[in-house]
Chain A
Amino acid sequence: MRLEPRAHAPLAIRLLAPVGAVVAALALCALLVAWTGAPVLRAYGLLVEGALGSRFALTETLTRATPLILTGLAAAVAFRAKLWNIGAEGQLYMGALAAVVLGGELLNLPAWAVLPLALIGGALAGGVTLLGPAVLKVRFGVDEVVTTLLLNFVVLLLVSMLLEGALKDPMGMGWPQSAPVVEAAELPKLVARTRLHFGLLLALALAVILWLIDTRTIWGYENRAVGANPRAAAFAGMPVTRVMLRTALLSGGLAGLAGAAEVCGLKGYLTLDLSPGFGYSGIVVAMLAQLHPLGVVGAAVFIAGIFVGADAMSRAMPVPNYIADVLVATSLLCMLVAGLLARYRLRRS
């Protein structure tokens, strides 16, 4: 067997690739489900029902998808420019930290300014967090995979320190958590008596805006050229360094906004378990979406559905909800293979 590059990958194949990858992942994980002794079809049935089967399930899935859309966009934007940002998790926490400080009671701000300030501040904090590694990459060629990954741990330890110290909620009964944000800093609910908040609309709007920027503006044009061939972009006269830095600000900003939106829309305060790895899952979302901003929305809802549905399934059957992590990871691996098959054709020799 050998691989030969395809001259042209038709749209149908590019759309089929993620679907095929997901089907393959479900089939592979069926083996694990069967191993627990549970009936596979019923388990998957419960999973789908738990993710989409009711008003509650659907809003829960979309609530979970909100930060995933944002971190997915963060990864997609950066990866397109060949900036390998693995640090969305840390940027998310920096954003959450900024939101909790700006939206807290410490500052006496006019009520109308609190929410925008918390969100913008969160985005800025995330962006600046990625700017450091990006500057090091552009100036000295430091590998950003290493720096962004390791910064995650630095940020988590910083948050941990602050939650045990300066930011610790005096009313928190000793738990390492911050004081809640003021009421004016809360994102309104989208559907009454559910957890779904306006952050979803924000994320959807950003996906569309990013897609329009990418395809319609000279900004996106420069980004794509620099990502695909920085040398040719520089030769043609594009500001390669500036494009890299602004991509870093944008990518980190999206991840920071994810953290801020979780604080302002859902949790109200900051703890160390604010994110069950949204930053890392964002990478999977972006890969499943083949780095397309609109594809990110679909991929994020899919991943969120898996997590939410697996929780529901594990309550009814002896299948632990870890199956969600396995499913997501398997989907990513299958997607990598599917992406390869979309670009190459398999030939028998």
Chain B
Amino acid sequence: MLGQDFRYNAMAQSKSIVLRLSGITKRFGPLVANDAISLTLHEGEVLALLGENGAGKTTLMNILFGHYVADEGSVEAFGRPLPPGSPRAALEAGIGMVHQHFTLADNLSVLDNIAVGTEPLWRFWSDRGAARRRLLDLAERFGLGVRPDALVGELSVGERQRVEILKALYRDARILILDEPTAVLTPQESAGLFDTLRRLTADGLAVVFISHKMNEVFAASDTVAVLRGGRLVATRRTVETDREELAELMVGRALKPPTPALMTAGEPVLELSNVTVASGHSRPLLDAVDLTVRRHQIVGIAGVSGNGQTALADLISGLIHPDSGTLSLKGETVGHADPAAMVRRGVARIPEDRHAAGLVGAMAVWENLIAERYHDPAFQRFGVIRRGAARAHAREVIEAFDVRCPGPDARTQLLSGGNMQKLILGRTLAHGPDLILASQPTRGLDVGAVSYVHGRLLEARAAGAGVLVISEDLDEILALADAIAVIHHGRLTPALPHDRVSVRQLGLLMAGHWDVLPEILNAA
């Protein structure tokens, strides 16, 4: 309730306008990324910019910060017009931006990262004492604890974000733009960030944060502006709206969450028995892991990022091999499997990073669709690709999986993230897999694409596949999984039935407090 009071207070005192966007329009060729968008931001206000991927949020902020030049419209900061196309002018006007991908030098200390660029180039000394005092003062005032002499490369993601925010504050930012700030944070770190935002706005700063997550909007913002297809479709006081309304505004139609039907799990399709993957460091990546996935069953792997999820996914993808223990598919022990062998054995693999590992962006859609089975006689004869057959296959997949693209010959990198993921789904699910490995299947996707991906996974489960979902998004796992196992420091808990474990217990397990396990297992 304290947060709500605070929001009312901030809005009650009608503060002066610090930022005004008027009629911003930006076109990329035939695409209108921003269509006559007008927005105002008040002193002490947190404005959430909500929208699906491709709605134009990032473009708008890039115009504001001078990375892009708007075709029409103007930006006014503190009553003065901002010259377009100049990040320097934006900085000088007091606008600071924290990008989704941090712009810090790993090999420099926190203090150096923050002070770099603020000192004159042609001076042989630098007043590090003063810089340090200023930094510590700012950190103290806004509750942003950092160690000035720590190397940035050694910091956690949450700490790096604090450094980025301090960097903006150090440059006297009065308007802070945060691009998807919680995308990389744990729930606890997100809570800390929202706490910081409150302190900043209490000091009179204004904050714009870009997001496509509903609960953040309610946790942190005073006002929410919803973008869809480049247009500003609505602006609401956060307290006067609700999730359903925002979701509809964002997507343009009502969304129904999928309701998984109850199903009896069948025979096992994947069994890991006592699997260890060493890393060369002191702690193994996977430590004596046991896991079983059965037909008609979705098993979710929950955990904080970097606890062995990638190794587990690579193992089942065939990219790495167990140092000890066995991996069996459909009851058969798999020896030295490579990715091609895994595909042949009926494993559909959805990689964690669809840009880097999933698709070859420079190649055509049809070429990417045959990437896992180009040796198949359906697609080649004597080493010559049957291009007609491959294109026809691509057209079928595009149709069946609702991939929005100009056609089989479109270059893959021109597709949106959601359509790329549909392409990968089409590539793997079209062949009736026995096991689906879905690694972060909806990371970075908008609501519409998320519900599509979830629907497809549930469909595959109904058709008899076993599904292993590895996700750092606990909501996703709770929405899909029949059984949940938690991964921590490379060790995996037994799979816990979804209905027998609480979110609080999962949180404890994710943080490594495995002493709650007996309690859960006994209850189950």
Interface residues of A (CB under 8 A from B): 2, 4, 7-8, 216-219, 221-222, 224-225, 228-229, 231-238, 347, 349
Contacts and interface: CB of A to CB of B under 8 A. Distances in A.
Closest 5 CB pairs of A and B: A237-B340, A237-B339, A236-B371, A349-B85, A228-B362
Interface string B310-340: 0000000111000000000000000000111
Interface stretch (B2-10, B38-46, B153-161, B377-385): B377-385
A229 B339 contact: no
Contacts of A349: 69, 84-85
A8 B405 CA distance: 14
Given A217-B383, A218-B380, A225 B84 contact: no
Interface size class of B (residues with CB under 8 A): 35 or more
B384 A228 contact: no
Given A2-B85, A236-B339, A237-B343, A216 B384 contact: yes
Interface string B342-385: 11000001010000111111110001000110110000100111
Contacts of A232: 356-360, 371
Interface string B24-42: 0000110000000000000
A228 B318 CA distance: 21
A219 B414 CA distance: 25
Nearest to B343: A237
Grouping DSSP codes into helix (H, G, I), strand (E, B) and loop, the A interface class, with mixed when no group exceeds half, is helix
B357 A231 contact: yes
B339 A225 contact: no
Given A218-B384, A237-B338, A237-B339, 6 more contacts: A218-B380, A225-B360, A225-B363, A234-B339, A236-B371, A237-B340
Contact of A234 (B319, B342, B374): B319
A219 B363 contact: no
Contacts of B343: 237
A333 B147 CA distance: 48
Interface in B41-68: none
Q: B317, B341, B371 — which one has the most chain A CB atoms within 10 A of its CB?
A: B371
B384 A217 contact: yes
5 contacts: A8-B411, A218-B374, A221-B374, A231-B357, A233-B360
Interface in B383-408: 383-385, 387
B356 A8 contact: no
Contacts of A225: 360, 363, 367, 371
B150 to A, nearest CB: 30
A90 to B, nearest CB: 30
A228 B363 contact: yes
Contacts of A222: 374
A8 B415 CA distance: 12
B372 A237 contact: yes
A236 B358 CA distance: 8
A235 B339 contact: yes
A349 B87 CA distance: 13
Contacts of B317: 235
A29 to B, nearest CB: 34
A236 B380 contact: no
B360 A229 contact: yes
Contacts of A217: 383-385
Contact of A7 (B29, B318, B358, B363): B29
Given A219-B383, A235-B339, A236-B372, A7 B28 contact: yes
A348 B45 CA distance: 35
A8 B414 contact: yes
B414 A7 contact: yes
Contacts of B384: 216-218
B414 A218 contact: no
Nearest to B69: A349
A347 to B, nearest CB: 8
B351 A235 contact: yes
Nearest to B390: A221
Given A237-B343, A349-B85, A229 B371 contact: no
Contacts of B362: 224, 228-229
A241 to B, nearest CB: 11
Among A216, A224, A232, which residue has the most Cβ atoms of chain B within 10 A?
A232
- Indicate the member of A218, A219, A229, A347 with the most B CB atoms within 10 Å: A229
Interface string B437-477: 00000000000000000000000000000000000000000
A86 B121 CA distance: 38
A4 B31 CA distance: 14
Contacts of B340: 237-238
Highest count of chain A CB atoms <10 Å: which of B372, B384, B387, B411: B384
A222 B360 CA distance: 11
Contacts of B29: 7
A84 to B, nearest CB: 18
A229 B356 contact: yes
A218 B371 CA distance: 10
A78 to B, nearest CB: 17
Given A228-B363, A237-B339, A237-B343, A221 B385 contact: yes
Interface string B144-180: 0000000000000000000000000000000000000
B383 A218 contact: yes
A228 B176 CA distance: 38
B32 to A, nearest CB: 14
Given A7-B28, A217-B383, A235 B319 contact: yes
Contacts of B361: 228-229
A238 B371 CA distance: 8
A219 B360 CA distance: 16
Contacts of A235: 317, 319, 339, 349, 351, 357-358
Contacts of A221: 367, 374, 385
Contacts of A347: 69
Contact of B385 (A4, A216, A236): A216
Contacts of B69: 2, 347, 349
A332 to B, nearest CB: 23
A14 to B, nearest CB: 13
A232 B387 CA distance: 21
